């Protein structure tokens, strides 16, 4: 067998990679101590303004999307902030608030990126009449709805759903990957995608 043939045999095309984005999007949030219904009730008890808190890659955005879809509301206004986004454009907020009703839901992903001044400015516009669900790496911006935590067991459950039952040696590999990325499930799955692409991850 030539080198080219061996490479072709081991290489996993993106369309066949079980860790490709199209497959990851189908993964649901794993509930442990809480259920979706319990979190909905708690959100109401907190005045319909709350935060999903946790480190990067711990499932905050996935849970935020599930909760937003499950809530009976008018329109959902999505604002995604990336690293370095210290403010939300004023014209965007003015446009949203000019159309928003009390039944609408504001969802901010990455609210910790906002400066203290811009966060306070947003809260003033939000008032008490609008509902808001944010994700944040730190507590204190809004009352905490839930703190997301990950585990090797969670990662292994996701891998099993995407691929196949894990052997003991594969589970130990997952432990190493999980610890390497400090519990960041997103980064762990990205590494698995790369390893699968290189033919370094199979059912053996």
Q: Any idea what DSSP says for residue 167?
A: P
Could you tell me what percent of the chain has a pLDDT over 90?
66
Label residue 11 by pLDDT band (50, 70, 90).
low
The candidate with the shortest Cα–Cα distance to 89, out of 134, 97, 137, 135, is 97
What is the mean pLDDT of the segment spanning 8-29? 75
- What average pLDDT does the chain have? 88
User: pLDDT tens across 54-71, in order?
Assistant: 999 999 999 999 999 998
In whole angstroms, give the CA distance from residue 123 to residue 44.
18
Label residue 164 by pLDDT band (50, 70, 90).
confident
What is the mean pLDDT of the segment spanning 156-181? 92
pTM, entire model: 0.85
């Amino acid at each position: 067998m030539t080198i080219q043939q061996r490479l072709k045999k081991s290489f996993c095309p993106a369309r066949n990679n079980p860790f490709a984005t199209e497959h990851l999007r189908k993964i649901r949030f794993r509930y442990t101590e809480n259920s979706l219904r319990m979190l909905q009730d708690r959100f109401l008890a907190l005045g319909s303004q709350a935060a999903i808190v946790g480190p990067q890659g711990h499932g905050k955005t996935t849970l935020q999307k599930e909760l937003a879809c499950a809530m009976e509301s008018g329109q959902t206004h999505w604002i995604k902030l990336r690293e370095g986004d210290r403010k939300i454009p004023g014209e965007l907020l003015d446009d949203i608030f000019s159309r928003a009703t009390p039944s609408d839901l504001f969802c901010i992903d990455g609210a910790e990126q906002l400066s203290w001044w811009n966060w306070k400015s947003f809260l003033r516009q939000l008032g008490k009449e609008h509902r808001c669900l944010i994700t944040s790496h730190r507590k204190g911006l809004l009352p905490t709805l839930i703190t997301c935590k990950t585990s090797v067991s969670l990662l292994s459950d996701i891998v099993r759903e995407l691929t196949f039952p894990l052997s003991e040696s594969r589970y130990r590999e997952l432990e190493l990957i999980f610890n390497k990325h400090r519990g960041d499930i997103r980064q762990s799955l990205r590494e698995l995608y790369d390893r699968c692409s290189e033919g370094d991850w199979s059912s053996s």
